A and B are shown apart, each in its own frame.
Chain A
């Protein structure tokens, strides 16, 4: 049981190097915090969007009583007061500023969208009212009605910014509703009755999938961050093994009866414990800063299991790196060079396009893809063993293959007599 002696030795070394251990655990927490604060509010339902209104409307006189009215102010008021359906949350945080100021704020994403109400907005609303009066009193003359003044409202924003996309969608809806309401109210006024809303034949409703009502982008990203931390373990493992080569302690072990498997399997045990600790710590941090966790204690146990398997894959990767790196700095650099792109490839930060190889999504050949999918399934969506068993099986299979490669390469490059 030589691997057990190696495991005990590595564990003691890890725990006694307090500072090193602190950094291993702290670094991923920093990442989690940064991503938590960056994406924590994004995508959550019922969040007010920041809207700047630039109102150039000069007003117009109403047709029946000749009273001066500014429909631009009216629209601004309506947007200020508009709320989400069945909710007390406003749709927009409205600010009224100049166009140049608004443009500036768009660039810094201080505001999500800018609505420019043109000079002739009131005039065009009045024209709409006039034509509605005419068509209500004399339907035949409607087509050849008096002046048809149209005005263009500009919704300006950064089309690459997701918040603008959402704000714009809501604004278009509100404006269409505004026009409809003007028509209905005018019709009612002319007829002298409050009248009923027209019967609605088609309606739509946006519905989040079960359990995701309060989701933010962070809920999707948090498991990605856990996997990223697990991936970074490869760098630490590689550096620590390379240090053993550099210091000569490996040469000592190499002359003994120890085999590559003893060294690597033994080394894997304490590092797996680190992976488990990372999953738990990162999970707690994520929940503390707003991760909507579902699935209860069971899901945490499953997450730790999944995390440890992913961790072993990272350890194997670290061993492969250590088979080639000449010193611990090289190991750290090579490790970063491999783990960061891998984190992108498995979709830890954002979803990747669907590219198939041999009928599989290309990143399904990487064990961490399955770690990530399983973590999302259990932590974010509250799935049980059934939901993750396929991912776990694939993860185990790929990890075993990676570990076998690691043992082969490390033994060949590091445990034989040097040339």
Chain B
């Protein structure tokens, strides 16, 4: 029996001469939250569309539970697309019933499950409201409910937080955790928000330009580029960035200094205690600091380390 619930073997997807996914090989374990982190256009959606059978890979193979896609039980996957994909002229309840029927969920179970989903996702009061009259956040939540009405083993969420207000996002994150913790589902998540990937995922695959750059737990990924804090310095004359970087690199305990989109990005252990020293060295060179901030190491820093750029919005 396969140890992985989904496995992609060197999948490639070409669109009219453009390679959207380039030799992606990865395994998703049963019962984990698996995050795809990458900027918009990195190939995340194309990858998961191939993993759920909406798109044929140009080459390579996708195995679900050790078997070829062709033999997959359609009930085992539920996908929540990035866009809001709903029937505007149906009510929340009718939409859930329709999708339940399409997955052949028995009537009594379907009713109970729909009620619970509406309750969990705070849509109970809107059960009989037409979709076109829902707010954006409510539509997003219904979009998710439709993906899980048939209680699939694997839930695929494509940019689920897109366009959500902080409150709705909290509801969503709580629900995603409960999918894994209470129901033992495998969740595959794509996001360009490192915060989301960091907090929710057991393992994260960082991809850019269709290629897998790293795959590990968020902690390991952060450790890989080293512990420490990140100091971001903006100087008034950006032309002198390289000059300042040279000075900072020579300082003790500084792990790395690079320029990212005009901002000097310095990583150091216990940066707080080193701040006066950093400022002094910079000002010695007669350079004025326009802005300075300090934060903890995040997955974004891992991404910067790997690609030299920030996650593109």
Which residues of A line the B interface, CB within 8 A? 2, 5-6, 9, 12-13, 16-17, 247-249, 251-258, 417-419
A324 CA / B4 CA spacing, docked (Å): 38
The reply to whether B85 and A256 form a contact with Cβ atoms under 8 Å apart is no
Supply 11 A–B pairs (Cβ within 8 Å), ascending by A.
A5-B102, A9-B98, A13-B87, A13-B90, A251-B54, A251-B81, A252-B81, A253-B102, A256-B103, A257-B103, A258-B102
Residue in A2, A13, A247, A248 whose beta carbon sits within 8 Å of that of B102 in the complex: A2
Nearest-Cβ distance from residue B21 to partner chain A, whole angstroms: 14
Residue in B52, B56, B97, B98 whose beta carbon sits within 8 Å of that of A255 in the complex: B52
The reply to whether B89 and A254 form a contact with Cβ atoms under 8 Å apart is no
The reply to whether B85 and A247 form a contact with Cβ atoms under 8 Å apart is yes
Nearest-Cβ distance from residue A9 to partner chain B, whole angstroms: 5
Most buried by B among A253, A254, A255, A258: A255
The reply to whether B53 and A255 form a contact with Cβ atoms under 8 Å apart is yes
The reply to whether A9 and B90 form a contact with Cβ atoms under 8 Å apart is yes
With both beta carbons as reference points, the residue of chain B lying nearest to A4 in the complex is identified as B101
The reply to whether B54 and A418 form a contact with Cβ atoms under 8 Å apart is yes
The reply to whether B56 and A252 form a contact with Cβ atoms under 8 Å apart is no
Return the CB mask of B48-89 against A: 1 if under 8 Å, else 0: 000011111000000000000000001101010101011101
A417 CA / B130 CA spacing, docked (Å): 30
Residue in B55, B89, B104, B146 whose beta carbon sits within 8 Å of that of A17 in the complex: B89
Q: Does B26 contact A (CB under 8 A)?
A: no
A256 CA / B55 CA spacing, docked (Å): 15
The reply to whether A2 and B104 form a contact with Cβ atoms under 8 Å apart is yes
With both beta carbons as reference points, the residue of chain B lying nearest to A250 in the complex is identified as B85
9 closest cross-chain pairs (CB), A and B: A256-B102, A248-B85, A5-B101, A16-B89, A13-B89, A417-B56, A258-B102, A256-B103, A9-B98
A2 CA / B110 CA spacing, docked (Å): 14
A13 CA / B131 CA spacing, docked (Å): 11
Q: Does B278 contact A (CB under 8 A)?
A: no
The reply to whether B74 and A418 form a contact with Cβ atoms under 8 Å apart is no
With both beta carbons as reference points, the residue of chain A lying nearest to B143 in the complex is identified as A252
A252 CA / B98 CA spacing, docked (Å): 11
Q: Contacts A256-B74, A257-B103 hold; do A418 and B52 have CB atoms under 8 A apart?
A: no
Most buried by B among A248, A254, A417: A417
With both beta carbons as reference points, the residue of chain A lying nearest to B130 in the complex is identified as A16
Q: Does B22 contact A (CB under 8 A)?
A: no
Q: Does B94 contact A (CB under 8 A)?
A: yes
Nearest-Cβ distance from residue A32 to partner chain B, whole angstroms: 28
Main secondary structure of the interface of A (DSSP, over half): helix
Which residues of B line the A interface, CB within 8 A? 52-56, 74-75, 77, 79, 81, 83, 85-87, 89-90, 94, 97-99, 101-104, 130, 146, 150
Nearest-Cβ distance from residue A361 to partner chain B, whole angstroms: 43
With both beta carbons as reference points, the residue of chain A lying nearest to B15 in the complex is identified as A419
With both beta carbons as reference points, the residue of chain A lying nearest to B56 in the complex is identified as A417
The reply to whether A257 and B85 form a contact with Cβ atoms under 8 Å apart is no
With both beta carbons as reference points, the residue of chain B lying nearest to A17 in the complex is identified as B89
The reply to whether A419 and B56 form a contact with Cβ atoms under 8 Å apart is yes
A417 CA / B85 CA spacing, docked (Å): 18
Q: Contacts A254-B54, A255-B74, A256-B74 hold; do A5 and B89 have CB atoms under 8 A apart?
A: no
A182 CA / B81 CA spacing, docked (Å): 93
- Note all chain A residues with C-beta closer than 8 A to B130: 16
- Note all chain B residues with C-beta closer than 8 A to A254: 54
- Note all chain B residues with C-beta closer than 8 A to A417: 53-56
- Note all chain A residues with C-beta closer than 8 A to B74: 255-257
Most buried by B among A5, A17, A254, A418: A5
Nearest-Cβ distance from residue B206 to partner chain A, whole angstroms: 26
The reply to whether A257 and B94 form a contact with Cβ atoms under 8 Å apart is no
Q: Contacts A2-B102, A17-B89, A419-B56 hold; do A255 and B94 have CB atoms under 8 A apart?
A: no
A258 CA / B56 CA spacing, docked (Å): 19
The reply to whether B103 and A249 form a contact with Cβ atoms under 8 Å apart is no
Nearest-Cβ distance from residue B58 to partner chain A, whole angstroms: 9
Nearest-Cβ distance from residue A386 to partner chain B, whole angstroms: 43
A238 CA / B99 CA spacing, docked (Å): 23
- Note all chain B residues with C-beta closer than 8 A to A12: 89-90, 94
A419 CA / B89 CA spacing, docked (Å): 31
Q: Contacts A17-B89, A418-B56 hold; do A255 and B101 have CB atoms under 8 A apart?
A: no
Residue in A6, A9, A249 whose beta carbon sits within 8 Å of that of B85 in the complex: A249
With both beta carbons as reference points, the residue of chain A lying nearest to B101 in the complex is identified as A5
A253 CA / B86 CA spacing, docked (Å): 11
The reply to whether B89 and A249 form a contact with Cβ atoms under 8 Å apart is no
- Note all chain B residues with C-beta closer than 8 A to A5: 97-98, 101-102
A249 CA / B75 CA spacing, docked (Å): 17
- Note all chain A residues with C-beta closer than 8 A to B102: 2, 5, 253, 256-258
Q: Contacts A255-B53, A256-B74, A419-B56 hold; do A2 and B101 have CB atoms under 8 A apart?
A: yes
Nearest-Cβ distance from residue A346 to partner chain B, whole angstroms: 34
- Note all chain B residues with C-beta closer than 8 A to A258: 102
- Note all chain A residues with C-beta closer than 8 A to B89: 12-13, 16-17
- Note all chain A residues with C-beta closer than 8 A to B75: 257
- Note all chain B residues with C-beta closer than 8 A to A16: 89, 130
Residue in B77, B85, B86, B99 whose beta carbon sits within 8 Å of that of A251 in the complex: B85
Q: Contacts A17-B89, A257-B74, A418-B56 hold; do A248 and B81 have CB atoms under 8 A apart?
A: yes
Residue in A13, A248, A257 whose beta carbon sits within 8 Å of that of B104 in the complex: A257
Residue in B52, B54, B94 whose beta carbon sits within 8 Å of that of A9 in the complex: B94
The reply to whether A255 and B79 form a contact with Cβ atoms under 8 Å apart is yes
A251 CA / B55 CA spacing, docked (Å): 11
Nearest-Cβ distance from residue B7 to partner chain A, whole angstroms: 18
A16 CA / B87 CA spacing, docked (Å): 11
A243 CA / B103 CA spacing, docked (Å): 22
- Note all chain B residues with C-beta closer than 8 A to A17: 89
- Note all chain B residues with C-beta closer than 8 A to A2: 101-102, 104
A418 CA / B99 CA spacing, docked (Å): 21
